[in-house]
Amino acid sequence: MSIDIAIAGFGTVGQGFAEMLALRQGMIREAFGTEARIVAAFDSSSAIYSEEGLDPMALVAAKAETGRVGDEPLVDGAAFLESIDYDVLVEVSPTDIVTGGAGLHHIRSALGAGRHVITVNKGPLALAFAELDTLAKENGAQMRFEGSVGGAMPIINLCRESLMGQEIGSVMGILNGTCNFILSRMDDGLPFEQALKEAQELGYAEADPGYDINGVDTACKVVILANSVFGIDCSYEDVDVTGITAISEEAVAMAAEQNYCIRLIGEISPERLEVSPRLVTKGHPLSVTGTLNVAQVNTDLAGPISISGRGAGRSETASAILSDLLAMMRSFVNNK
């Protein structure tokens, strides 16, 4: 017996997960007495399926050489998923926060068929979390999504599992590494435009950086945390959002004179869903620099608990997917 995986989306993160699965296959066999096999993968134009399993590294090599993951043309990802047999969908297709994109259709298809889902795709979760959560429960499926907020920083599983029994009053954090890099460089005296250009040259920001600098990415993560941690049925429109484009060199310098820095903070509580630049005391857990993400979880019994980690990247996000997969496999073993 094996756990059979279909990967929807075979870009940077999908390839990173395939590489990590190949790297950790021995550990998985030792821990669970079985293996986790990739049996299907597809990108925007091609697909491949084998009920005997696929070589993860061969998939990565094929994508690098041809730009395609398989030889079979892909017309409809959801229809492809309905035509094959698998246990877990790893959904890592491009994010679309307006409609949910193809990812929303993929996740609906999988959960509707009782397949388990692991995703890092913020669009479906930010737009339709309550629907997808209900669909999973109705069909006896698990939906895990650690990598959708904070990349390698395990904030969701911390709140939902490790802090079970605590009453969480709020979560506040830096949830976008691009903005944090820009603001950190402004601390060093760079103007906003120059700091942004440097972020783009280093690959931290896209050619069109609006999704990051206008606070949209952080707001999507606020919605995911609000739904999953606090049970608030909300969407992007419910978040009060202010980005970092209006922050001046003078404002950063004035903050520094008073021992503060400016950081883009997402706040989630039953009373407030907000993304905005805020003054943070230097030395505070939320004053981190560079591309790090950090969150402070305020609990009634344990007080404030802080956690940080890299918020994006091929291996970092893939590590969150692997963590969710292993948690699923543990539950399968325990429920036998």
Q: Over range 167-194, report the average pLDDT.
A: 96
Query: Which amino acid, 83?
Result: S
> Exactly one of 63, 122, 197, 221 is catalytic; which is it?
221
Go through 240-271 and write b for each residue having 16 or more CB atoms within 10 A of its CB, e for each that does not: ebbbbeebeeeebeebeeeebbbbbbbbbbee
Instruction: Please report the pLDDT score of residue 335 as a whole number.
Output: 74
pLDDT, tens digit (0-9, with 9 covering 90-100), for 74-108: 999 999 999 999 999 999 999 998 899 999 999 99
Could you tell me if 116 and 165 lie in one domain?
Answer: no
Tokens of 318: 């893939």
Asked if residue 298 and residue 216 are part of one domain, the reply reads yes
Q: Look up residue 170 and give its two tokens.
A: 């709020």
For residue 214, the domain's CATH number is: 3.30.360.10
Same domain as 107, residue 216: no
Are 129 and 166 in the same domain?
no
For the cut 70, the answer to whether the pLDDT of residue 272 exceeds it is yes
Rounded to whole angstroms, how far apart are CA atoms 200 and 19? 26
Q: Are 6 and 84 in contact (CB under 8 A)?
A: yes
What is the spatial distance between Cα 288 and Cα 182, in angstroms, rounded to a whole number?
12
Q: Is 221 a catalytic residue?
A: yes
Q: For residue 253, is pLDDT > 90?
A: yes
Phi, psi of 245 (to 5 degrees): -65, -25
Residues 284 and 322 in one domain: no
Could you tell me the CATH number of the domain that includes residue 135? Answer: 3.40.50.720
State the distance between the two ends of the chain, measured CA to CA, in whole angstroms. Answer: 13
- For residue 336, what pLDDT is reported? 61
Q: How many residues does the chain have?
A: 336
Paired with 4 in beta bridges are 37
**Pair 123, 205 in one domain:** no
Domain span at 264: 156-310
Residues 207 and 248 in one domain: yes
In the prediction, which pLDDT does 206 show?
A: 82
Would you state the structure tokens that stand for residue 328, as one six-digit string?
A: 């699923």
pLDDT of residue 332: 86
pLDDT digits (tens, 9 = 90+) for 2-18: 999 999 999 999 999 99
